[in-house]
Amino acid sequence: MVTAEIAVALPALVLVTAFSMWGVTAASVQVACTDAARSGARAAARGEALPAVEAMVVAALPAGAQVDVRRDAAISLVEVSVPVSPPGHTNVLPLTVQAEARAATEPGANATRS
């Protein structure tokens, strides 16, 4: 009788473990996105070239990340979006983890640096 109960419970346990690991992965990607966006916003606010800032942010993120870097005279903004695929070959859509960071643009930083 115990064997039948284990046979029913084991797939459920594997499924719960897999989706729990997906949650942990998503949380880890969220932390990476937030850190990369903050670093990028600070670099853009200092006046770094926007393509260099975008390259720096993309390098710190998992593959498939989308990065948008903008700067005006007042605010430097970095937006990051990364899809996190579910475990295995399921029909569940990937989670999209997003982060945004803003920093006050320093005076004179709006000019493009070489």
Express each pLDDT in 26-49 by its tens digit: 999 999 999 999 999 999 999 999
> In the structure, what pLDDT confidence band is assigned to residue 55 with cuts at 50, 70 and 90?
very high
Residue 113: predicted pLDDT:
41
**Other Cβ atoms closer than 10 A to 35:** 16
Please report, as a single letter, which amino acid is at residue 90: T
Q: Does residue 91 register a pLDDT over 70?
A: yes
Residue 88: predicted pLDDT:
78
Q: Does residue 111 register a pLDDT over 60?
A: no
Residue 1: predicted pLDDT:
62
Q: Worst-scoring range by mean pLDDT, 4-8, 11-15, 62-66?
A: 4-8
Residue 50: predicted pLDDT:
94
Give CA–CA dist 85/95, Å, rounded.
7
Tokens for 21, please give them.
Answer: 């690991």
